[in-house]
Amino acid sequence: MYLALKHTHITFAALSILFFALRGFWMLSTPEKLQQRWVRIAPHIIDTLLLASAIALTFTISQYPFSDAWLTAKLIALFAYIMLGTIALKRGKTKAVRTLALTMAPLCVGYIVWVALNHNPQPWLV
């Protein structure tokens, strides 16, 4: 069960990141593509399944945010990623602000992956 959940979580994380990158590319090159119905709906489906698999994993491994530091760090970095993502794709007032947010968001993703692999909120110390 654990491996199936883990691989499901990784798959939806990869889909979420790839689709974010695609939408970021479209924001810079052809912003009208962001208005397509499927483009507006797909991220919600992918991210809901990603969150559901994350919650299932926390119960499976009996480790939880706010009691396990590495999961708390991942959650905080996820919120930062979400904020940067909304700035990059929706809320940024100028293209320069959106581009900056778009380039910073992968730093959060990298940190999340690094923490997930090391189960340590300070993986650079490992």
Inter-residue contact 23 to 34 (CB < 8 Å): yes
Inter-residue contact 108 to 102 (CB < 8 Å): no
Convert the pLDDT of each residue in 59-101 to its tens digit. Answer: 999 999 999 999 999 999 999 999 999 999 999 999 999 999 9
Percent of the chain residues topping a pLDDT of 90 = 97
- pLDDT at position 37, please? 96
And the tokens for 11?
């798959």
62: left (phi over 0), alpha (psi -120 to 50) or beta: left
Q: Share the mean pLDDT of the chain.
A: 95
Number of DSSP helices (H) and strands (E) in the chain, helices first: 4, 0
Between the two ends of the chain, the Cα-to-Cα distance in Å is: 28
The domain limits of the chain are: 2-125
- pLDDT at position 125, please? 77
